[in-house]
């Protein structure tokens, strides 16, 4: 059995003519590693208005993995770390490296005939509670949100995340705050206490606005409030937590275990949300989860891109004592993305399960790799940023 990587393909996928800019529905980046004896492993990197920079960074990483032993995950990652001077601060570099790291684990599992989770400690649980995201496109008013939220519940979800703040950015107007409260209170009153509401802020607020939002929504007992502050205002989290009871979640813009250790040890976060596709992949996030477990902090992986990311996240989820809940856009993807992976995991009645097949467990549809190959920047909508769910960044 050979363990050498012989062929590396970097793939950009999307849907020609589709102008929605939200990354969960537009482009994704994949790496396909093939060994000299025919094993194939896949990894995924994020986009979010940085498709081409990440794609170019993947070309840089490619040089460090070509002809290398894919079993040597720690060594190969460290080799790129040694050469990549800005890696610890560059999401483009960490994203590119994460895709190769994930694909390496896919190969390792296939070479050993074992699912990745069995190589990381085995099963803690067989199924994983999911929360819906991406469900509230074009929602602005409380009635808009309620109509779609009822459909989400009918699909079996018992938790859903949403951004109720419209086009408010940095500051939060009185009207914007009233509308957010009306949306959250309507969902709480109509859906009852059996459905968890997760509040998405998208890292958009100043400290005062975040305090206003958090204290106003506290009575509706959200499961968490995600990224309430601009990410560069991290020191404000300590002040925010003096006023807001709702647990604070964040992590999709943190790039490694050291970043998370700083936030956790200083008491700035209650729930961590690492993204495997930008924070150095599977093994790094197993370590990050262990750091969090030592502080009794639960893990809810960020998961906004494609099915290979989902499969990788679930393989780590399976091994965690401190798993909380898993983000899911699956039910609201465009068809090409739904069909990219034929098997590997299932989402039924609000819970994920893994196939248990070797590696990540996935069977990639090669026809989609051909039919949905694209080249270039992802779509850009000047009326709303790519990090919102489409049609929501407007005044009620």
Which are the catalytic amino acids? Answer: 202, 302
State the Cα–Cα distance between residues 108 and 88, nearest whole angstrom. 26
Q: How distant, in Å, are the alpha carbons of 43, 54, 97, 143, 256 from that of 278?
A: 11, 10, 8, 36, 9
Task: Tell me if 392 sits within 8 A of 166, measured CB to CB.
Answer: yes
Phi and psi (nearest 5°) for 140? -135, -45
Spatial CB neighbours of 394, under 8 Å, sequence gap ≥ 6: 140, 166, 167, 383, 384
Which residue do the tokens 């599977």 mark?
A: 282
In this structure, what are the phi and psi dihedrals at residue 218, rounded to the nearest 5 degrees? -50, -45
The answer to whether residues 84 and 93 touch, using CB atoms and an 8 Å cutoff, is yes
Look-up of token digits 């929501």: 392
- Tell me which residue has tokens 């993807």: 333
Nearest to 165 by CA among 95, 222, 101, 228: 228
DSSP H helices, the chain, are: 51-65, 73-83, 91-112, 142-154, 174-191, 207-217, 236-240, 257-265, 281-294, 307-317, 335-338, 366-371
d(CA 218, CA 222): 7
Tokens of 162: 């949403």
From CA 120, how far away is CA 320, in angstroms rounded? 10
């Amino acid at each position: 059995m050979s363990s050498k990587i012989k062929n590396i393909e970097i793939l950009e996928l999307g849907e020609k003519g589709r102008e929605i800019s939200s990354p969960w529905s537009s482009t994704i980046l994949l790496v396909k590693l093939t060994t000299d004896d025919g094993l194939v492993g896949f990894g995924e990197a994020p986009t979010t208005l940085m498709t081409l920079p990440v794609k170019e960074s993947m070309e840089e990483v490619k040089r460090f993995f070509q002809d290398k032993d894919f079993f040597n995950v720690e060594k190969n990652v460290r080799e790129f770390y040694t050469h990549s001077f800005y890696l610890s601060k560059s999401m483009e570099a960490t994203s590119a490296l994460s895709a190769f790291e994930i694909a390496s684990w896919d190969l390792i599992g296939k070479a050993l005939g074992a699912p990745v989770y069995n190589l990381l400690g085995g099963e803690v649980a067989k199924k994983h509670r999911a929360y819906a995201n991406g469900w509230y496109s074009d929602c602005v008013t409380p009635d808009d949100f309620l109509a779609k939220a009822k459909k989400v519940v009918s699909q079996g979800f018992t938790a859903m995340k949403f951004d109720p703040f419209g086009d408010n950015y940095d500051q939060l107007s009185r009207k914007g705050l009233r509308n957010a409260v009306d949306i959250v209170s309507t969902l709480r009153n109509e859906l009852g206490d059996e459905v968890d509401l997760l509040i998405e802020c998208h890292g958009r607020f100043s400290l005062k606005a975040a305090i206003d939002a958090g204290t106003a929504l506290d009575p509706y007992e959200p499961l968490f409030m995600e990224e309430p502050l601009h990410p560069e205002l991290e020191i404000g989290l300590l002040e925010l937590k003096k006023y807001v009871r709702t647990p604070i979640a964040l992590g999709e813009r943190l790039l490694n275990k050291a970043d998370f250790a700083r936030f956790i040890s200083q008491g700035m976060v209650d729930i961590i949300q690492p993204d495997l596709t930008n924070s150095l992949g599977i093994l790094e996030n197993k370590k990050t989860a262990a750091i969090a477990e030592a502080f009794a902090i639960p893990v809810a992986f960020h998961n906004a891109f494609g099915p290979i990311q989902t499969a990788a996240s679930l393989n780590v989820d399976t091994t965690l004592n401190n798993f909380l809940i898993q983000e899911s856009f699956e039910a609201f993807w465009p068809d090409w993305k739904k069909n990219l992976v034929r098997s590997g995991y299932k989402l039924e009645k609000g819970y994920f399960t893994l196939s248990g097949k070797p590696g990540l467990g996935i069977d990639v549809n090669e026809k989609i790799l051909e039919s949905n190959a694209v080249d270039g920047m992802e779509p850009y909508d000047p009326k709303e940023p790519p990090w919102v769910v489409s049609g929501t960044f407007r005044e009620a």
